[in-house]
Amino acid sequence: MQYTEKVMDHFQHPRNMGQIENPSGVGEVGNAVCGDIMRIYLTVENNVITDIKFQTYGCGAAVATTSQLTEMVKGKTLEEALKITNADVAKELGGLPPVKLHCSNLAADALKVAIENYQQNLKQEKESVKNAESR
């Protein structure tokens, strides 16, 4: 396998692997191409990602890209986090074999879904607060 040392390091020592008990948002994506699954958990405080965890079922590159992504977005605002592209993730890992480039896409997609899920949760919460107040 033509993986960089950094990819192998993330594969061997994944950062932020696991689950968050009461997450602000969760995102899960599956990849139809090779049948892999990534799940990302977020804790968001004041629009900033204060905690992030992931679980990945897939190849070495899939594990490494999710791990790398979590490192890149921790402490960032949601807007900043959403700007991270799969090319950024791949670059940070020192490159990926061409056939594996889609794996970094997968990681960025999972993050996006998690942020959307958070925003939805937030909206619902606000509405229920509003409903409670109007009563």
Note whether 59 binds ligand FES by CB under 6 A: yes
Note whether 93 binds ligand FES by CB under 6 A: no
H helix count then E strand count, the chain:
5, 3
Tell me, yes or no, if 59 is annotated catalytic: no
Choose among ligand FES, another protein, none what residue 11 binds, the Cβ cut-off being 5 to 8 Å by kind.
Answer: another protein
Q: Please write down the long-range contacts of 88-96, taking CB distance under 8 Å and 24 or more positions apart.
A: 89/65, 90/65, 92/6, 92/68, 93/4, 93/6, 93/7, 93/10, 93/64, 93/65, 93/68, 94/4, 94/5, 94/6, 94/7, 95/4, 96/3, 96/4, 96/7, 96/61, 96/65
- C-beta of 21 vs 79, nearer to another protein: 21
Tell me, yes or no, if 34 is annotated catalytic: yes
Give me the residues that bind another protein (CB under 8 A), please.
1, 3, 8, 11-12, 14, 17, 19, 21, 26, 28, 33-39, 55-63, 99
Choose among ligand FES, another protein, none what residue 14 binds, the Cβ cut-off being 5 to 8 Å by kind.
Answer: another protein
- C-beta of 13 vs 135, nearer to another protein: 13
Active site residues: 34, 103
